[in-house]
A and B are shown apart, each in its own frame.
Chain A
């Protein structure tokens, strides 16, 4: 009886342990939450896979973490949005050539009650200064993502160190250390302001009373870049298939596919691989 029991457990283990899919041809792409949460990858990847037979496995992280993942050799391609960090990644020899792919923009999101009274302000610097002066709640990603980097750069540009608000009685600046969606959920619940990329904002489903407070400032520009992880650093990198994905993204076909992606009739990303210096 005991033996049968053992055989049963063994058979069951073999059964559940079987891989459900045969080994496929695939690459791993470390990318950002915005490209995944906005649904862009659900639109792009089937097109690429259909054309090349290469499956794309996306690990969606903040830009800083995605670059770390690639630095460790756990991804074949990185597709992120923080140009300075990307250039450093390439300079340090972890990535081959960086290609500009597309852009969208950041928007400052705030509650309809608008506690800092900044709705309609066109200048992002003025808006942030007002938020800090009035001590209106502001949610920061705090996760070294591309959006977090952009937010910190904006604060620096207006000469405010928001981290100093932490711990004092006002405590209006709240770092949550999570992704874009989580930051929007938190801002919704706290009636706080938050900087978001437009794509995640448009596809976000729990907007509640949140709305766009400030948009259209040139400083809110958000560029995405893509690069192959350097096979010289990590020999197991699937250089041929990875480069095929990079090349497809910046090809006429890939660029057109990016432009075609829309939510509620609104275009989310604007292809600009041909733009010099992007």
Chain B
């Protein structure tokens, strides 16, 4: 059993000692999740905006489908990419299974629907208000996408943070495609799962406290930046 203070002590000890293995785990977590969110943003922001301003058959069905994909179970995504990236799978030739790249791909797929769905909603609301003005200065929907994305940037930051939250909290997909290899694909969440299974609950909870702290830090940074941005923009 664990007493109340031991997880905190374990967390503090990890931070104070600056153990290279631990720093590697934190670094990999940040690298994988931030890269995944970046990829999802590069694809998802324009796609979401495009979906907001265009009108085509099957658009509503597509919106419902993408909204539903926000609830995609990570373990299923992990399994699908495991089968695709495995040496016996269609993409096996790249040798990506059990590498950080595989984890980035899996996480980006989890984050992408969130970015598209939230962008679509934000831009659609904005488009409703701007449409007449933008059309009066000769901008069609497609040309307006850049302007709309830029004007909605602070709301869209929240969409990206939601995606980041999904990625940092996730363990099912990265465990399957990464394999939790020490020093190569071991992240915060998979390390927590491993320490739990080794019965070192204090260390596991200590890692959990640090993970929550890092998430808090990233969110505070993003919030601070958007506050500064709003002040300058206003």
Q: Which 7 A-B pairs have the closest CB atoms?
A: A181-B197, A206-B199, A73-B87, A59-B179, A205-B199, A13-B38, A72-B88
Partner of A204, one of B31, B153, B181, B199: B199
- Tally A-B pairs: CB < 8 A: 90
- The 0/1 profile, CB within 8 Å of B marked 1, for residues 11-42 of chain A is 01100110110000000100001000100011
Name A residues whose Cβ lies closer than 8 Å to a Cβ of B: 1-2, 5, 9, 12-13, 16-17, 19-20, 28, 33, 37, 41-42, 57-60, 72-74, 178-182, 184-185, 203-208, 234, 236
Residues A208 and B38 in contact, CB atoms below 8 Å apart: no
Ordered by A's residue number, 20 sampled pairs between the chains whose C-beta atoms are within 8 Å are: A1-B150, A5-B153, A9-B38, A13-B42, A20-B24, A20-B31, A37-B198, A42-B182, A57-B98, A59-B179, A59-B180, A72-B86, A73-B88, A179-B197, A180-B197, A182-B197, A204-B199, A205-B201, A206-B201, A236-B95
Give A57 to B104 CA distance when docked, in angstroms.
Answer: 19
Residues on A with beta carbons closer than 8 Å to the beta carbon of B5 = none
Q: Chain B 158-196 against A: per-residue CB contact (8 Å), 1 yes, 0 no?
A: 000000000000000000000111101000000000101
A236–B96 Cα distance when bound, in Å, is 13
User: A37 vs B180: C-alpha distance in the bound complex, in angstroms?
Assistant: 12
- Give A160 Cβ to nearest chain B Cβ, in Å: 28
Known A57-B184, A60-B180, A73-B88: A184·B199 in contact at CB below 8 Å: yes
Tell whether, in the assembled complex, residue B35 and residue A13 are in contact, meaning their CB atoms are under 8 Å apart.
yes
Query: Which residue of chain B is the closest to A13 with respect to CB atoms?
Result: B38
Q: Which residue from A33, A58, A185, A208 sits with its C-beta under 8 Å from B181?
A: A58
Report A-chain residues with C-beta under 8 Å of the C-beta of B87.
72-74, 234, 236
B47 is an interface residue with CB less than 8 A from chain A: no
Q: Give the number of chain B interface residues (Cβ < 8 Å).
A: 38
Measured in the bound complex, the distance between the Cα atoms of B154 and A220 in whole Å is 63
Q: Is the interface of A mostly helix, strand, loop or mixed?
A: mixed
Q: Which of B1, B86, B181 contacts A206 (CB 8 A)?
A: B1
* B12 / chain A contacts, CB cutoff of 8 Å: none
Question: Does A205 contact B200, Cβ atoms closer than 8 Å?
Answer: yes
Assuming the contacts A19-B100, A57-B181, A236-B87, asked whether A2 and B146 have C-beta atoms less than 8 A apart, the reply is yes
In the complex, what distance in Å separates the CA atom of A173 from the CA atom of B165? Answer: 38
Q: Give B15-54 interface residues, CB cut-off 8 Å to A.
A: 24, 27-28, 30-31, 34-35, 38-39, 41-42
| B157 CB to nearest A CB, Å | 11
Give every chain B residue within 8 A of A181 (Cβ-Cβ): 196-199
Contacts of A42 in B (CB 8 A): 182
User: Whole-angstrom distance between the alpha carbons of A234 and B42 in the complex?
Assistant: 36
Report B-chain residues with C-beta under 8 Å of the C-beta of A17: 31, 35, 38, 104
Point out the residues of chain B lying under 8 angstroms from A182, CB to CB. 196-197
Q: Which residues of B contact A178 (CB under 8 A)?
A: 197
Least Cβ–Cβ distance between B181 and chain A, in angstroms: 5
Residue of A whose beta carbon sits closest to that of B41: A9
Identity of the chain B residue whose Cβ is nearest the Cβ of A26 in the assembled complex: B184
Residues of A within 8 A of B86 (CB): 72-74
Closest Cβ–Cβ distance, residue B93 to chain A (whole Å): 8
| Residues of chain A within 8 A of B104, CB atoms compared | 17
Residues of B within 8 A of A60 (CB): 180
Q: How far is the CB of B101 from chain A (nearest CB, A)?
A: 8
- Mask for B49-83, Cβ within 8 A of A = 1, else 0? 00000000000000000000000000000000000
